[in-house]
Amino acid sequence: MNDLDSRVKGYLFGTAIGDAMGVPVEFSNRKFLKEKPVAGLRAFGTHYQPAGTWSDDSALTYQTIETLINGLNYRDLANRFLSWYHQGEWTANGVVFDIGFATRNSLDRLENGVEPTEAGEISELCNGNGSLMRISPLAFYLQYRKPSLSMTERFELVRKTSAITHGHIRSAHACFLLVSYIQELLSGKDKMEAYYSIQQTMCPFFEETGPADECELFARILKEDLTQIPESEIYSSGYVVHSLEAALWCFLTSNSFSESVLKAVNLGDNTDTTGSVTGGLAGVYYSLQAIPAEWLQDIARREDIENLAERFTQSLSV
């Protein structure tokens, strides 16, 4: 297995494993999880699903990859999201059991004829993590299929992809920060070297593409050292900035795939998304070989995920 193969498979399975670990304890508070920490894949719990069941986070990530295999097309992507919503396409077991309000509202608008890149809510109050959780496949697409794009062009692709469900500039900035960080990892940089690199480039760019006060909302990531912030000050809510901070913090302060994902899920609250985004980061960085075999064997639709990963890798190698 070559390096790209292993990274892609690590990313896809890492996303699903972090998600599936978080599903049974979603909305559990941190105090409860300190007393009864997640140590592996559990059954039932919050959504009463079998062990290894992943949620909308992974499903919409996989639908995004299905589109990217043939090239980024916003209409195709919107249609795939609708197929997931109505037919259960790329769900773990044929059932959509978790969907955010903003995502649901945007999909309803798509059905009413709104253009895909205009369907997402643009209110400041609609900055949940619903586009962040599915955006990171674009890092592979931009790194391997569109390497000559400028920073502005890359941002525009990310912004429009986010805007299918989340149209506010804050969500676009969070998504672009995550995608750019993963691109740095894919370029071969150490995780801290990659972190310092985005600190140098992101804030000036954010100030060019949105109000200056929006950049300040990312100050803990871009102007401070996120790794020095104590766990008690890391929030794991569904707010897009909190989700991004939590995932990066878990990844940057851990030394293995397992440590990263377990730390993320045991933060509590929005556990599926924090786990999913962190699992994706750790999967990219540590690759497939670092994921415990017992976690891989219990994940829903393992063969389908492996097939998707192989098709995605092939499309990136063209």
Q: How far apart are CA 10 and CA 251, in angstroms?
A: 14
Structure tokens at 70: 């043939």
Over residues 197-204, the mean pLDDT reads 92
Rounded (5°) CA angle 139-240-172: 50
How much is the pLDDT for 213? 84
Given a contact cutoff of 8 angstroms between Cβ atoms, the answer to whether 234 and 266 are in contact is no
**What ranges in 210-239 are assigned the alpha helix state H?**
212-216, 219-222
Express each pLDDT in 24-74 by its tens digit: 999 999 999 999 999 999 999 899 999 999 999 999 999 999 999 999 999
Given a contact cutoff of 8 angstroms between Cβ atoms, the answer to whether 93 and 165 are in contact is no
Given a contact cutoff of 8 angstroms between Cβ atoms, the answer to whether 11 and 280 are in contact is yes
This prediction has a pTM of: 0.97
Express each pLDDT in 212-259 by its tens digit: 788 899 999 999 999 999 999 999 999 999 999 999 999 999 999 999
The DSSP call for residue 45 is G
Q: How far apart are CA 185 and CA 155, in angstroms?
A: 18
Return the domain boundaries, the chain.
3-316
Who's near 186: CB < 8 A, 6+ residues apart?
7, 139, 140, 143, 144, 284
CATH of 3-316, one of 1.20.1560.10, 1.10.4080.10, 2.60.40.1190, 1.10.10.10: 1.10.4080.10
How much is the pLDDT for 1? 56
